[in-house]
Amino acid sequence: MQLIGEILVSLLIVIGAAFTFIGSFGLLRLRDFYTRLHAPTKATTLGVGSLLMASAAYFSLRGEGISLHEVLVTIFLFITAPVGAHLIAKAALHLRLQGVSRLPEDGLLEAPEESKEPAA
């Protein structure tokens, strides 16, 4: 049982490390700003997810009760990663930053005009 647990934890750590590495490597390898955004939002969620599962498994198997801190970290990560990526992309589009792909039409990127009229 001990051995199986250790193998499981090691496997999760290796998988997590691999995906985290690929995510960071993507930042270097991809060609433009917008594609680089994809690496940290995805490859990293599974990477950190695996590491957190390894942590939960390790501390639970040590027999000090079940460790559920990691669930929280996962939830917060899944909430914040897309919001961060969205804001970065939005800022880039606002500045009309050019990349490999053609930008969407200008009409869609107009800022809202709600500041002119006070809300009823």
Partner 1 sequence: MRMLLPHPLLSLMLWALWLLLANSVSPGNLVLGLVLAWLIPLFTARFWADALPVRRPLVLLKFAAVVLYDIVVANIAVARLILGPQDGLRPSFIVMPLELRNDMAIALLASTISLTPGTVSAFLSADRKNLIIHSLHTEDPDEIVRQIRQRYEAPLKEVLE
Q: Which residues bind partner 1 (CB under 8 A)?
A: 19, 22-23, 25-26, 29-32, 34-35, 37-39, 41-43, 45-47, 49, 67-69, 71-72, 78-79, 81-83, 85-86, 89-90, 92-93, 99-104, 108-113
Nearer to partner 1, 7 or 27 (CB): 27
Nearer to partner 1, 5 or 38 (CB): 38
Q: Is 20 helix (H, G, I), strand (E, B) or coil?
A: helix
Min dist. Cβ of residue 2 to partner 1 (A): 23
Distance CA(66)–CA(72), nearest Å, equals: 14
Q: Is the dihedral of CA 21, 25, 30, 34 positive or negative?
A: positive
Min dist. Cβ of residue 3 to partner 1 (A): 26
Nearest to 27 by CA among 15, 38, 16, 42: 38
Specify whether the CB–CB gap between 20 and 41 falls below 8 A: no
